[in-house]
Structure 1
Amino acid sequence: MEENGFFPELYFCHIGIGHPPFNAQEIAWGEVMRLRVFAAAAAMTVLGACQTVQPPATASGRPEVTIPGADPARVKSAILSGMIDKGYRIVKDDPFSLTVEKPVENFAAVLLLSTNAGGPPVARVTYTVAQIDNGTRVVADMALISNAGMAFERRTDVSRGADSPMAQAFLDKIAAETQAKSSPKKVARR
């Protein structure tokens, strides 16, 4: 079907352009350039969406809360319950921290951070819980983990990213709930 170095059926598609293509390689090169322009435009759009937000105005620069009069065990229990409701599973639990994770749902993150060995990345949140004078301090550390559970995990810190305001709001909600539960006991002791 090739005639004089180009495909005649494609020639008719280019009549309005002003000149016929000279050969099939020129047509393929044009398609490659269109794909490159499209890919560059898509990459600029994705990178533009990755704008950084201001880190939380806390001592650690990460989402955190200090809950006066709260028991650390009660706070950890409330955090765990809330994270289970959001679809996370427990990875590690010790007296001073709680680590939960779930598969990443963000398509761009899956596309950029997936590996052949480890598959799609996971979102991992580690809550450090410290008992301080008459209260409990909780600091959240958020990361995207490639090759999760393998010897060569790769960690991308997102604690100061777009999700940090939501994490701060979650901790503020936990603080309000645990403070409200401990307040009646304080009043009853007086």
Structure 2
Amino acid sequence: MPSLVAASATSAAKEINRLHAEAQRLTAESRHSLDGALAAAWRAGRLLNEEKKRVRHSAGHGAWIPWLKHFFTGSMSTAHRYMRLAREAADPALLQGLSLRQAYARLGIATEPKHRALDGKPALPKPPAHVLLAGKLIRFLRQQNRRRTAHVAVNCIRDLAPLYAQLRPLFENTSEGVTS
């Protein structure tokens, strides 16, 4: 009977050691894959940041998002995470051994959509299109105001005068800014 126990123990030990070697091999492959994924995301982020500068310089501030939607096959949030990863980490080697999610967490880059971050609170409804357009117009005017010369300011006021003429009666006919 002792030889049967010894043979069984030897067989079990061989299987245990084989599985241990496989676990070590797969762990090494996994680390290599994690490092490769992190390096690829970092390089993509650098290229996206460079392309953003080029697109904005050649086509203007509002051209980046359409370019990104047209040419990048990933999501907008993925592109933004890649870009931030490239900005925040001078060298991806400093984050070796981490998954992308772990690297994002270490750098303070959010991985959850903002609507999930509300902790169960209902998401606010999307504003109407005219409100979004008004916000874009205000941001544009503020940006232009920073680099404006007197000549440009006069032209801008002249160009917006017809819009102002159409909107003014709407605001003058409201009670405390609320339409009935």
Task: State the TM-score, normalized to the length of structure 2.
Answer: 0.30
TM-score (norm 1): 0.28
Computing the radius of gyration over CA atoms, which structure comes out larger, 1 or 2?
2
Q: Per residue, is there more strand in 1 or in 2? A: 1
Q: Which has the higher contact order (CA 8 A, sep 6+)?
A: 1
